[in-house]
Amino acid sequence: MAELQLKSLEKTYGNGFKAVHGINLEVKEGEFMVLVGPSGCAKSTTLRMIAGLETVTGGEIRIGDQVVNDLVPGRRGIAMVFQNYALYPHMKVRRNLSFGLRLKRQPKDQIEQSTQVVSNILEIEELLDRLPKQLSGGQAQRVALGRALIKEPDVFLFDEPLSNLDAKLRASMRVRITDLHKRLRSEGRPATVVYVTHDQVEAMTMGDRICVMKDGHIMQVADPATLYERPANAFVAGFIGMPEMNLVPAVLSSNGAARLTLAGQTIMAGPDLTARLQTADGAVTLGIRPQHLEVLEDGAAEAFSGTISNLEFMGHEVNVHARVGDATFVAVVPTERFDTTLQRGDKVGLRPIAARLHLFDPETGENVSLADQNS
Amino acid sequence: MVSYSELPNPAHNTGDAPTQLEIKLRRKARINSALRYTVLAVIGLIMVYPLIWLVGASFKTNSEMFSSPGFWPSEPTVQGYIDGWKTSTPYTFGHFFLNSLWIIIPKTIGTAISCTLVAYGFARFEFPGKNILFATVIATLLLPNVVTRIPQYLLFRDIGWLDSFLPLWVPSAMAGDAFFVFMVIQFLRAIPRDMEEAARVDGATTLQTLIFIVVPMLMPALISVCLFQFMWTMNDFLGPLIYISSVEKYPVSLALKLSIDTTEAFAWNQILAMSVLALTPSLVVFFMAQKYFIEGISTGGVKG
């Protein structure tokens, strides 16, 4: 096992398109790092560069203390799990698992033993003599996982491994992979993992740390709680969390205490926010998670007055969509606290919980309300 | 007759009796398909009749050949086969069959190997001049074979390969058959690259990836290539005619012509009997590999 370092890593394609813009990332030994972002954010390209399946056009990739830029994939000490499993269709599971070891000309009894150990861990012993086409999606993914595991690589690379599975199986495979990672750690052979996904649930539940990417840039690298509570910018704030964080243009005036003006209504944002502020007065993007927006009766103090435009009953909670001027807010209200007399078109008060309010620079998207935590 | 219970009956899974309408519809469907199959069978029979006639006529005597139009011989005889096999040369027909095989087998193997290598290169790698080279390969597809015969003949004459099998083997072993290259490329394009990438991550070199991963996946296409090459070479007349001059090296296609040349009154029954034998290898090989063959051309065509 080893740590992985990306230094000013760049990828420019032959047609001049720059996919990766000099990213820096350090994955510690034994760490589970998730690369997450919308389609086209170059997370897969980055992973494929680490694997050696894409050439590096700038910067450096280090695994352990070795620069691997020009090494062929087989010599990098990596193993990769592909989205569509990529099992060799003409080989039985047993040979699929041992293909890498056989190429390395390991002794037969050793290969046999490794195959047994791995198939035992992944509970695929009874599948060893089947062909890939005789496996279900979940089984195939476990074999693909086994093929990576058997090589005992320095770094595991996962390229959206669960996105071809149905929701239920995805949830159980998620747990299986994190369990496996913990188990290897407790057995004293921690596995360094880079896991690419576009699914924020996977990212949040699996990663020790998460690297959020957009258009070939890293937006933030942090543990899941930090990403959720202290997003570095509006993109991360909007990307992480369900439903999405409300991001609404507003005007800040902090004459002693911060005030926010939106659609002609002004509320006091409270001393907590004032203390955190890093910005001058003017236009800002107000960010508040739906879970941190209280729905009160119309006219409540320090609340925006809005009109309900839609109500979504989710079972344990209700999503309240309300319009304030041109902006739409979504608030999540636990079902037991929801006032069932509310209907579309009703007026309500929306009060952001001050401690959970974020303000972003409308130009750069940077979070300008993190001062106290950063200093 | 098919009973009700055997017919698909989605509306009445519970075992209710079918309604009048259903009975009517099913009867209509049966009449329809009977009509369809009759038309198909008749047209099929018309198309395959020359072949049936050929087989029948090969058992006729030479005098009966043109006197009765039916395909069934009135006095079946295998004399045509016996005489035809002896040929008018010092060699039996078996000798010519061996010659044919001796041309076909190296040529087919050479084609399969060279086409795989070239197609793999074009389908999976980026290299300078790739587009121009690929266009050149495809352009040769459009070129009639006959056009290149004379320059090729001169070339092989200067190398001193005339009256040997080399002019028949070497061009194919150098991926000279652009059609096969194209076919394999199309097939390869339909195969996702992930397996090859997985093999590279597993530590396989390019050649190992090709041999252990790509070739097994290409099998249906390669079988089609071999089959086509087998049949085309078996039937090739012009190539051997130009390059092979000694009767000792004649393949079946030339040997058939031989019996027409040397006899004044053509022994048609012998010619037809040997034609039937000449057809047999292709047919046998085709039916043996039919399953893969169809998989090969359909996948290459549709998904490519």
Q: Which of A51, A74, A88 sits opposite B203 (nearest CB)?
A: A74
Contacts of A9 (CB under 8 A, 6+ apart): A20, A22, A23, A24, A25, A46, A49, A56, A58, A59, A60, A61
Contacts of B304 (CB under 8 A, 6+ apart): B186, B187, B189, B190
pLDDT tens-digit readout, A176-232: 999 999 998 998 888 999 999 999 999 999 999 999 999 999 999 999 999 999 999
- Which residues are A249's β-sheet partners? A285
Is the domain of A220 the same as that of A324? no
pLDDT tens-digit readout, A275-313: 777 777 888 899 999 999 999 988 888 889 999 999 999
pLDDT, residue B15, reads 55
Which of B42, B252, B201, B214 lies closest to B125 in space, CA to CA?
B214
Q: Which of B192, B208, B216 sits opposite A103 (nearest CB)?
A: B208
Output B87 or A41, whichever has higher pLDDT: A41
pLDDT, residue B14, reads 53
Is the domain of A303 the same as that of A219? no
Q: Which of B192, B203, B204 sits opposite A84 (nearest CB)?
A: B192
Is the domain of A280 the same as that of A360? yes
Q: Six-digit token pair at A112?
A: 């046999």
pLDDT, residue B301, reads 38
Is the domain of A209 the same as that of A351? no
Contacts of B261 (CB under 8 A, 6+ apart): none
Is the domain of A221 the same as that of A261? no
Q: Which of A52, A89, A99 sits opposite B202 (nearest CB)?
A: A99
Q: Six-digit token pair at B29?
A: 């469907």
What's the domain count of chain A? 2
pLDDT, residue A299, reads 84
Q: Which residues of A touch B190 (CB under 8 A)?
A: none
How many C-alpha atoms does A89 have within 13 Å on its Cβ side?
14
pLDDT, residue A257, reads 75
pLDDT, residue A259, reads 83
pLDDT, residue A147, reads 94
The Cα–Cα gap between A181 and A35 comes to: 17
Range 109-128 of B in CB contact (< 8 A) with A: 126
Contacts of B59 (CB under 8 A, 6+ apart): B73, B76, B77, B78, B80, B273
Question: Does A99 sit within 8 Å of B201, measured CB to CB?
Answer: no
What CATH number corresponds to the domain at position A253? 2.40.50.140
In 3-state terms, what secondary structure has residue A151?
coil
Is the domain of A42 the same as that of A187? yes
What CATH number corresponds to the domain at position A83? 3.40.50.300
Q: Is the minimum CB–CB distance between A100 and chain B shorter than 8 Å?
A: yes
Is the domain of A225 the same as that of A241? no
pLDDT tens-digit readout, A118-132: 999 899 999 999 999
The range of the structural domain enclosing residue A220 comes to 4-229
Is the domain of A78 the same as that of A187? yes
pLDDT, residue A221, reads 96
Contacts of A40 (CB under 8 A, 6+ apart): A215
Q: Which residues of chain B have pLDDT under 70?
A: 1-16, 261-265, 296-304
Range 174-203 of B in CB contact (< 8 A) with A: 192, 194-195, 197-203
Q: What are phi and psi of B182, to 5 degrees?
A: -60, -45
Is the domain of A216 the same as that of A360? no
- For A308-312, the CB contacts below 8 A with 24+ separation are A308/A342, A308/A343, A308/A344, A308/A345, A308/A346, A308/A347, A308/A348, A309/A344, A310/A344, A311/A342, A311/A343, A311/A344
Amino acid at B98: L
- Which residues are A27's β-sheet partners? A4
Q: Which domains does chain B have, with CATH numbers?
A: 4-81 (no CATH), 87-302 (1.10.3720.10)
Share of chain A above pLDDT 70, in %: 98
pLDDT, residue B264, reads 57
Enclosing H/E stretch for B223: helix B215-235
Is the domain of A192 the same as that of A312? no
pLDDT tens-digit readout, A140-158: 999 999 999 999 999 999 9
Question: Does A90 sit within 8 Å of B217, measured CB to CB?
Answer: yes
Contacts of A100 (CB under 8 A, 6+ apart): A79, A147, A150, A151, B201, B202, B203
Mean pLDDT over A57-65 rounds to 93
Q: End of a domain among A182, A210, A229?
A: A229
The region of weakest confidence among A236-250, A271-285, A318-332 is: A271-285
Is the domain of A175 the same as that of A248? no
Q: End of a domain among A161, A194, A229?
A: A229
Is the domain of A224 the same as that of A334? no
Which of B211, B212, B214 lies closest to B193 in space, CA to CA?
B214
Range 12-41 of A in CB contact (< 8 A) with B: 14
Q: End of a domain among A200, A229, A258?
A: A229
Q: Is the minimum CB–CB distance between A88 and chain B shorter than 8 Å?
A: yes
Q: Which residue has the tokens 């006639």?
A: B53
Are B225 and B115 within 8 A, CB to CB?
yes
Are A166 and A203 within 8 A, CB to CB?
no
- Which residues are A158's β-sheet partners? A81, A195
Cis peptide before B69 (omega within 30 of 0): no
pLDDT, residue B3, reads 47
The whole-chain average pLDDT of chain A stands at 90
